[in-house]
């Protein structure tokens, strides 16, 4: 009875305030739902950047925003599809240096997209490459990697439906036994003394990666990464690893050096022969036959007969 009296005697201002609070709560709930939906939709696509090139991993039939931007105002924007088609973009965001186009992925979208940005006022066009790969739920981040001989490199695979946790991660090297790996495998207890899990990766974030220590020739070839999600299935992809440096110097690049050394030696021999023949023609060197003939020639001047002493014996005279 007392409670009903208190409620009935509430001021109109308080009732209006309560109504506004309810509306605000409903608004926040609606915004949270939109944010969650947007987060799920955006995280369904994984974007990776390396040396100025963007790689987008997407599932078939998934919709995502193909984006590129510049630091200056844009006069136009266009996307060059791997098939050769071109898509022009007309949007108010061009004034802010931002260009975007919605893409629903199919197998035909696999490949290198080129974003053409017409900058203002310089007129110079800015080009941004974007590699789109329509993949399964686990995919290689980079399909081809190069590691300098005797240095460190990482083979990296990841989930494509956002940062979905993995139950395990495993690799099959081209020349060696397969192995499983996780964050407990560090550089100090590396598998076979050469393979460990990178510090900046995590199975809980959907990363399946291995760092190779002292890369050498046996690491060259196709690596296979395998990982499992909570559905119990294993998803695989392949990465081709190339080792630069010593390997190429001793095989592909050794022939030019050998030809160069051979050419220098041949040039030295030819110059030596030319110099020798030139000295011969100028008479600074005489053939051996001429010298032998000179030694056999008689000395100039009258010849002198060899005289022997003369001995005369006289008998004694008789008296």
Cα-Cα-Cα-Cα torsion 226, 38, 101, 127, nearest 10 degrees, comes to -60
pLDDT value at residue 296: 47
d(CA 249, CA 246): 5
pTM for the model stands at 0.60
pLDDT value at residue 300: 56
pLDDT value at residue 13: 56
The residue ranges of the chain whose pLDDT is under 70 are 1-44, 121-122, 246-258, 280-319
DSSP run (H or E) holding 119: strand 111-119
Chain centroid, CA 203 distance in Å? 24
pLDDT value at residue 45: 74
- Residue ranges per structural domain of the chain: 46-134, 138-250
Q: How does pLDDT run across 74-85, given as a tens digit for each residue?
A: 888 999 999 999
Instruction: Supply the CATH classification number for the domain 138-250.
Output: 2.60.40.10
Question: Could you say which of 2.60.40.10, 3.30.420.10, 2.130.10.10, 3.30.70.20 is the CATH number of the domain covering 46-134?
Answer: 2.60.40.10
d(CA 307, CA 291): 32
d(CA 113, CA 56): 10
pLDDT value at residue 71: 83
């Amino acid at each position: 009875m007392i409670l009903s009296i208190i409620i009935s005697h509430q001021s109109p201002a308080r009732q209006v305030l309560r109504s506004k609070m309810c509306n605000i709560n409903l608004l926040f709930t609606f915004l949270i739902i939109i944010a969650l939906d947007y987060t799920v939709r955006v995280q369904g696509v994984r974007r990776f950047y390396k040396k100025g090139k963007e790689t987008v991993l997407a599932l078939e039939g998934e919709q995502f925003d193909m984006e590129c931007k510049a630091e200056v105002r844009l006069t136009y924007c266009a996307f060059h599809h791997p098939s050769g088609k071109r898509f022009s973009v007309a949007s108010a965001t061009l004034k802010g240096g931002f260009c975007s186009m919605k893409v629903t992925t199919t197998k035909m979208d696999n490949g290198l997209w080129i974003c053409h940005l017409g900058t203002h006022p310089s007129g110079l066009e800015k080009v941004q490459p974007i590699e789109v790969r329509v993949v399964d739920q686990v995919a290689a981040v980079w399909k081809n990697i190069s590691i300098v001989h005797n240095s460190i490199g990482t083979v990296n695979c990841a989930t494509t439906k956002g940062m979905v946790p993995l139950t395990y991660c495993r690799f099959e090297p081209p020349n060696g036994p397969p192995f499983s790996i996780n964050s407990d495998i560090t550089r100090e207890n590396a598998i076979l003394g050469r393979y460990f899990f990178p510090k900046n990766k995590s199975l809980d974030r959907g990363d399946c990666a291995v760092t190779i220590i002292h890369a050498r020739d046996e690491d060259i070839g196709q690596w296979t990464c395998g990982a499992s999600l909570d559905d119990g299935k294993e998803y695989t992809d392949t990465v081709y690893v190339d080792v630069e440096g010593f390997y190429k110097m001793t095989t592909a690049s050794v022939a030019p050096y050998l030809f160069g050394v051979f050419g220098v030696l041949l040039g030295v021999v030819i110059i030596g022969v030319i110099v020798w023949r030139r000295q011969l023609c100028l008479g600074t060197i005489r053939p051996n036959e001429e010298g032998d003939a000179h030694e056999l020639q008689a000395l100039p001047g009258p010849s002198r007969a060899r005289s022997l002493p003369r001995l005369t014996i006289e008998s004694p005279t008789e008296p």
